[in-house]
A and B are shown apart, each in its own frame.
Chain A
């Protein structure tokens, strides 16, 4: 499964901010860590702000802060702000769908969509952060840690 770019931006932003909910980060700081476009991320953060998941403060030391409930907010909640993950049989109708083979194809693809929905809806932000903590240091984190030590 490949997520749209905006969805990936949103997931990284939420996970980064939720990992330290008291901390405020600018769009540029998050973008640098995850190698994202700052402009694109800023638009995504506005969408997340309208959804009540992050809040922004202006001025020196300002930035974005996570204001959702990490134990309740799941990945599907975030993904669906940016792209549709349809329940089985509810996606857009496509050519061939009214044939037997088209219906068979819809049924098989529906299995995949159902599994996708179940996976995304069962993993909360808090669980995702636990999964991330179990993964050994990745090169980007290592680089950030070394850069911070030099400051």
Chain B
């Protein structure tokens, strides 16, 4: 069900599941932010959220004039013993609508869906140099968790 946010100091947005008609806008916003278009990725997220609506969430924020942001997450379980928890792996806000709590409303909306699905923890993974988005999640109470991300160049 759509949620109408009406706080006076925030953008008034309605948050809905992403519809097929939203995909082109999300692809364009992401390409604008990251400089790397990835339409197949966004379509897979859309299909995943549509086929597993209780586990996979892909939400868009709309205001009177159009779309202003999106967030994607899913419930993952038992990766190296991790209890079921919500994972956020994408968030984007239209640059013209930043500092108006759009990201906060999207974060709250996906966390509500995680809670409704019965999980009590939310996680994400952010590049260390992505200070803006790291600070965003920190400001929403997220702290370092008990897992460490490791990687290796496969041609080493």
Residues of A within 8 A of B (CB): 74, 114-115, 117-119, 121-124, 126-127, 130-131, 134
Contacts and interface: CB of A to CB of B under 8 A. Distances in A.
Contacts of A117: 128
A123 B128 contact: no
Contacts of A126: 139
Contacts of A134: 141
B138 interface: yes
B1 interface: no
B131 interface: yes
Contacts of B139: 124, 126-127, 130
A118 B134 contact: yes
Given A114-B128, A115-B128, A122 B135 contact: yes
B144 interface: yes
Given A130-B141, A134-B141, A118 B128 contact: yes
Interface residues of B, number: 10
Interface of B: 128-129, 131, 134-135, 138-139, 141, 143-144
A31 B147 CA distance: 37
Of all A-B residue pairs in the complex, the 3 with the closest CB atoms, nearest first, are A122-B134, A118-B128, A127-B139
Among A122, A124, A126, A130, which residue has the most Cβ atoms of chain B within 10 A? A122
A119 B144 CA distance: 9
A115 B144 CA distance: 10
A67 B134 CA distance: 24
B141 A123 contact: no
Interface of A is mostly: helix
Nearest to A88: B128
A121 B134 CA distance: 9
17 contacts: A74-B135, A114-B128, A115-B128, A117-B128, A118-B129, A118-B131, A122-B131, A122-B134, A122-B138, A123-B135, A123-B138, A124-B135, A124-B138, A124-B139, A126-B139, A127-B139, A131-B141
A127 B139 CA distance: 5
Contacts of A114: 128
A122 B129 CA distance: 9
A100 to B, nearest CB: 15
A121 B138 CA distance: 10
A123 B141 CA distance: 10
A127 B138 CA distance: 7
A130 B104 CA distance: 15
Nearest to B134: A122
A117 B139 CA distance: 17
A109 B134 CA distance: 22
A44 to B, nearest CB: 25
Contacts of B131: 118, 121-122
